[in-house]
Amino acid sequence: MNGIHDMGGMHGMGPIEYEKDEPVFHHDWEARTYALSLALRLGGQFNLDAARNAIEQLPPADYLRMSYYEKWFIRLMNYAILNGAVTAAEMETGKPAPGSARAIPGLVADMVQGMIAGGASARRNVRIQPAFVAGQHVRARNMNPAGHTRLPRYARGKSGAIIRDHGVFVFPDTRAHFQGDKPQHVYSVRFDARELWGGDRNPRDAVYLDLWEDYLEPA
Amino acid sequence: MPHDDHEIPPTDLTLRVKALESLLVEKGLVDPAALDVLIDTYEHKIGPRNGARVVARAWVDAAYKERLLRDATAAIAELGYGGSQGEDMVVVENTPEIHNLVVCTLCSCYPWPVLGLPPVWYKSAPYRSRAVIDPRVVLREFGLELANDVEVRVWDSTAEVRYLVLPERPAGSERLNEEQLAAVITRDSMIGVAKVKLP
């Protein structure tokens, strides 16, 4: 979706505010929000693409105003309801519905280190013939899906060169909406700064984006 | 955006997060002890010191550096790091001719196993909006002035590959051993917004 989260190239966001010796979390509630989100994801309750999509559903003004973990907290509530883990009534009362079944946590303490170390790669070991090869010139498609996508607006319609083929990964545009993995090649594509931003940019500079095959067409 | 700008007042957030946690625990969806382990892990065990050890090793061991640039995920795993949000890693090397900078314009993608969780500025609207269009101005704000004949490569990590910058080894560091080198390597130099300097 053409949302506020797609910020690359926007003006007016102000200077970068740098905090020296910044702590990992600024408040205990941030740490708990982070851990709750990660516990549900590692425990299999959270699909990362759908979770990113859930953040993108925030109204733009809220997205800009809220702190990072505040957005995570709102997402956590919305997502828990969306995937049926918690009902809206339970969220309201703060108590499990009388007589409701008690689940078994997908992640318990002694599983944490193993789950973090193992990770959850979006790579899929399936053999699919790549449509593009390194060195080939491509164009990012001019597409404007209303749903989740990882093709930033600033690259759409722009031409670049394939630098490498990263292999086959699940496709966020479908997975975020529970429409399947649609595995396909992801390529590192180099876009000259002048192609993206105009002729007054330094001719040496470039932006590299990792793009799924469905985002690309031959140039 | 400063981190203390909120829609919901922080005192309310404290109460509301507590309420949500106790509901999820009561429903059996989360184990509170697992939350404690997760927080401890990312506050104390996984952070930029991991990345610094990778960079220091690459500086002292040419064969390791070659492996790191060819297959970063495997080379980083040699030092015992990997997993969540670093399943598929790429390392890009800074040289006198090329400067690399990492951003995620769409959210906050960041290589957790080697750098830990991202700082607020990395996730903020100013950095995300400006790094791709005005990288040289952004770098100047971080105190890094690059000559016009240096090529700036911005890596917008919006897919599932995560990037670590291999900064240049500073002049005058020849006498330092691997451990001493690791101690001077900063998080910011591995994102690409700074160079490594000797104290």
Q: How many residues does chain A have?
A: 219
B36 and B108 part of one domain: no
Give the per-residue pLDDT at B45. Answer: 96
State the CATH number of the domain containing residue B130: 3.90.330.10
- Known catalytic residues of B are 104, 107-109
Count of structural domains, chain A: 2
**What number is the average pLDDT over the span B90-117?**
98
**Residue B6, both tokens:** 């909120």
Answer yes or no: do A35 and B39 touch at CB < 8 A.
Answer: yes
For A33, residues 6+ apart whose C-beta sits below 8 A from its C-beta are: A69, A72, A73, A76, B17
Mean pLDDT for all residues in chain A: 95
CA distance A135 to chain B (A): 17
Q: What is the ipTM of this complex?
A: 0.97
**What number is the average pLDDT over the span A205-215?**
98
- Strand pairing report for A184-192 and B98-103: unpaired
Q: What's the pLDDT band for A182 if we cut at 50, 70, 90?
A: very high
- What is the spatial distance between Cα A191 and Cα A35, in angstroms, rounded to a whole number? 37
* B115, part of any domain: yes
Give the CA radius of gyration of chain B: 19
B78 and B145 part of one domain: yes
**What number is the average pLDDT over the span B65-73?**
98
**What number is the average pLDDT over the span B46-63?**
98
Question: For the purposes of burial, counting CB atoms within 10 Å of the CB of A83, is it exposed (0-12), middle (13-18) or buried (19 or more)?
Answer: middle
Give the per-residue pLDDT at B5. Answer: 62
Q: Decide if pLDDT at B1 tops 50.
A: no
DSSP sequence for chain B: --TT--SS-HHHHHHHHHHHHHHHHHTTS--HHHHHHHHHIIIIISSHHHHHHHHHHHHH-HHHHHHHHH-HHHHHHHTT---TT-SSEEEEE--SSEEEEEE-SSS----HHHH-SPPHHHHSHHHHHHTTT-HHHHHHHTT----TTSEEEEEE--SS-EEEEEPPPPTT-TT--HHHHHHH--HHHHHTSS-----
Count of structural domains, chain B: 2
Domain residue limits at B15:
10-43
Q: What's the pLDDT band for A46 if we cut at 50, 70, 90?
A: confident
Answer yes or no: do A166 and B161 touch at CB < 8 A.
Answer: yes
**What number is the average pLDDT over the span B148-166?**
98
Answer yes or no: do B121 and A18 touch at CB < 8 A.
Answer: yes
Short-list B161, B168, B148, CA closest to B55: B168
B108 and B152 part of one domain: yes
Q: What's the pLDDT band for B8 if we cut at 50, 70, 90?
A: confident
- Assess A200–B contact: CB distance below 8 Å, yes or no: no
State the CATH number of the domain containing residue A61: 1.10.472.20
State pLDDT tens for residues A70-128: 999 999 998 888 788 899 999 999 999 998 889 999 899 999 999 999 999 999 999 99
A68 and A144 part of one domain: no
Mean pLDDT for all residues in chain B: 95
Q: What's the pLDDT band for B3 if we cut at 50, 70, 90?
A: very low
Q: Decide if pLDDT at B4 tops 70.
A: no
User: What is the four-CA torsion angle of B50, B56, B60, B62, rounded to 10 degrees?
Assistant: 70
**Residue B171, both tokens:** 């002049």
Give the per-residue pLDDT at A61. Answer: 96
**Cβ within 8 Å of B, A 98-137:** 100, 102-109, 111-113, 115-123
**What number is the average pLDDT over the span A124-140?**
97
* A12, part of any domain: no
Q: Decide if pLDDT at B194 tops 60.
A: yes
Instruction: Look at residues A55, A87, A118 and tell me which one is the last residue of a structural domain.
Output: A118
Domain residue limits at A174:
137-218
Among A11, A91, A150, the residue with its CB nearest the CB of B158 is: A150
Instruction: Look at residues A85, A118, A151 and tell me which one is the last residue of a structural domain.
Output: A118
A142 and A98 part of one domain: no
Answer yes or no: do A8 and B86 touch at CB < 8 A.
Answer: no
**What number is the average pLDDT over the span B166-174?**
97
A110 and A169 part of one domain: no
* B93, part of any domain: yes
Give the per-residue pLDDT at B43. Answer: 97
B97 and B160 part of one domain: yes
A113 and A142 part of one domain: no
* A192, part of any domain: yes
- Strand pairing report for B151-156 and B98-103: parallel
pTM equals 0.96
